[in-house]
Each structure stands twice: as C-alpha cells, then as structure tokens.
Amino acid sequence: MKNDFLAEILSLKNDAKAKNSLRFYKTGKGEYAEGDIFLGISYPQNRLLAKKYYKDVSLADLRNMLASKYHEVRACALLALVLQYQCGDERVKTEIYKFYLDNAERVNNWDLVDTSAPYISGDYAYNFDKSDDLRKLSTSGHLWKERISIVSTLYYIKHGSLDLTFELCKYFLGHRHDLIQKASGWMLREAGKKDVKALEFFLDENISNMPRTTLRYAIERFPEPKRKEYLLKK
C-alpha cells in the first residue's frame, strides 16, 4: 500500500504551484529550507491522501517517506502519523511518540512541525508526564527540534496549562532565528487567550529582552491602544 500512497502523491504534481512553494518556504541558498523540493500539492490534498492511506502504512514505510526529498511526501507521512497516533492505544502512542522524536530531524520545515508537534509530542508529553523531553529538545541547538519543543506546548495551552509555554518562551528570548521568535510569540498569544493577565505579567517581566518579532505576535489580539503601549516599550 505504501507504493500506492507514494504513487498518488506524485501523480498530483503541479509545477506552477511548486515554483510558488519554493519562494514561500524559503528554499534559496542560505535560507532555512535551502534545497527543499516541492511537488506543488496543497495541504487539503495532503490531508485527504493521509486519511485515505494511514491505516495501511507501517512505521517503516513512514520512515522511508520522511527520508524523501519531496516536501509533500514528508508532509503526508506526518499527517498519516498523526492519524495513527490519534487512533492508537497507549502502546501505539508510545511507539509513535518515540518514532517521532527519533525522526525529528526530518520534520524539517515550519509547516511540518506545526501540523504534527501539538498532536504527537505535545499530546504525549502532557498526558504521560514527559515535559522534560520537550525541555531537552529546546536545548538541542537544532532549529526544528527547538520549534517542535515550543509548538508542542500548544496542546498544554489547549488544556489550560501555561507554565511550560512561559518557561520555554523565556528560554528562547535570546534566540536569533525568526522561526523561533514567531513560534514563541504565537504560543504566547495562544496562552493569552486562556489567561490574558498571565500573558501581560510575562510581557511586563521580559519585554526588555524580548525580540520585537515575538512581541508583535504575542500582542496581536490586544486592543490597539494596548498594542501601541507595548510596542513603545521596545
């Protein structure tokens, strides 16, 4: 069934859309996704394919797909992995969680992280007391593992647990890459939806050390006067 999965992914290749993806995902020399190759397939198409085939692919198949040079093949593999995780019992979830962390270097673009981390590493770390695994990822010095760590906390936020998000965002205050700055700001904004006072407390304590990108993302939902007030502090 793996070959059918791959064949159907490849059959949807769209050269015009692939060219647009090269620019959108920063694949130029020296950019974060340098050398990534796209087929030009949309995420709705990827999701439909994953839903069609996820029951019939093994972790070995998915490991091979994650090794693909094609971005959308890796995307489909991760979407299928999320579906397998969500349908699995504790044993299956544990196996998939370990597989995900073992292959984290192949979760190598922001969209791949964002569509998988909250639903696998975030879910598992929260429900099985593995927050320290996310802390280890945050100190790995590897861009995609770092993004996995902070984006995973979206699952915590959805369940009203904000402490780990604030902890990792504080750790990342000095991070120079905009993909971590943006992810931190995004998570802070989501935390603010649950507890705006907690967000304001975090901002007031850390704004002097906070990248402007992180701040702008974090305060996006604030009323305009309050947004301007915080921006003027930078």
> What is the per-residue pLDDT across 141-198, written as a single tens digit (0 to 9) for each?
999 999 999 999 999 999 999 999 999 999 999 999 999 999 999 999 999 999 999 9
pLDDT per residue as tens digits for the range 62-116: 999 999 999 999 999 999 999 999 999 999 999 999 999 999 999 999 999 999 9
Residue 224 has pLDDT above 60, yes or no: yes
Residue 3 in this model has a pLDDT that exceeds 80 = no
DSSP state of 228: H
- Average pLDDT across the chain, whole number: 96
Dihedral of alpha carbons 130, 137, 181, 200, sign: positive
DSSP line for 86-132: HH--HHHHHHHHHHHHHTGGG--SHHHHHTTGGGTHHHHHHHTT-HH
- Nearest-Å Rg of the Cα atoms of the chain is 19
* CA separation for the pair 187, 104 (Å, rounded): 20
> Model pTM greater than 0.85?
yes
Helix (H, G, I), strand (E, B) or coil at 37: strand
Domain annotation for the chain: domains and CATH numbers: 1-87 (no CATH), 104-234 (1.25.10.90)
Spatial distance between the Cα atoms of 110 and 19, rounded to a whole number of angstroms: 18
Look at residues 110, 175, 178, 194 and name the one whose alpha carbon lies nearest to residue 148: 110
